[in-house]
Amino acid sequence: MSAVVRKKDAHRLVDQLPADATWEDLMHEIYVREAIESGLEDSRAGRTTDVKEIRGKYGLPE
């Protein structure tokens, strides 16, 4: 489920990194962005689980 990357978005992401950023820093930012976009897509498509259900699964208080 890879989304199309617009060049201006890629440039913006790189431009926001500090001058001494490493490749690892860039990969981390890409990972975070992809995870957020994936979560938003799941939410829009109704692929979510209620917090009460998750808490119950792990025996946590509501």
Give the pLDDT confidence of 27-58 residue by residue, as tens digits. 999 999 999 999 999 999 999 999 999 999 99
Distance CA(9)–CA(6), nearest Å, equals 5
Distance CA(7)–CA(24), nearest Å, equals 20
3 pLDDT above the threshold of 80: no
Domain boundaries, the chain: 22-62
For the entire predicted model, the pTM comes to 0.73
- Residue-level pLDDT at 5: 85
- What tokens appear for 54 in the block? 């998750």
